[in-house]
Amino acid sequence: MSQKEIDEEMIRNYQRDESLMVHIFAQWCVNHDLDPAELYLRAYPEQGANASLQYALDLIVPKEEAGDIPDHTLLGVLELFGNEDLAFIVTEEIDKRKKRLNSL
């Protein structure tokens, strides 16, 4: 395998993994009655609509059919891909949820 082929394979793997990260984020949002596009825009207002997120939204399932995605799993995946701004927004939403649950 040539260096070019290795580089291309690495790029494809990264893109596939990044798509998985976006899907995990979108499904977590739906599972918690949050709008993934709104959270994304809060984190990255200068970017506008995200094509990967739009694609992921077509693939997610209703929260009743989805498995649980632990908060720490989502945060770890976001940080792995350098999405610290989005992880910050997600953390804010987790804190809001915890406060609501504690006030019940």
Closest to 29 measured CA to CA, from 7, 76, 52, 61: 61
- Token readout for 40 is 């994304």
Strand, helix or coil for residue 37: helix
Q: Tell me the pLDDT tens digit for each residue of 43-98.
A: 999 988 889 999 999 999 999 999 999 999 999 999 999 999 999 999 999 999 99
| Cβ contact 84:21 at 8 Å | no
Residue ranges in 1-104 assigned as alpha helix (H): 3-31, 36-43, 51-59, 71-80, 84-103
* pLDDT at residue 14, as a whole number: 66
The H or E element containing residue 25 is helix 3-31
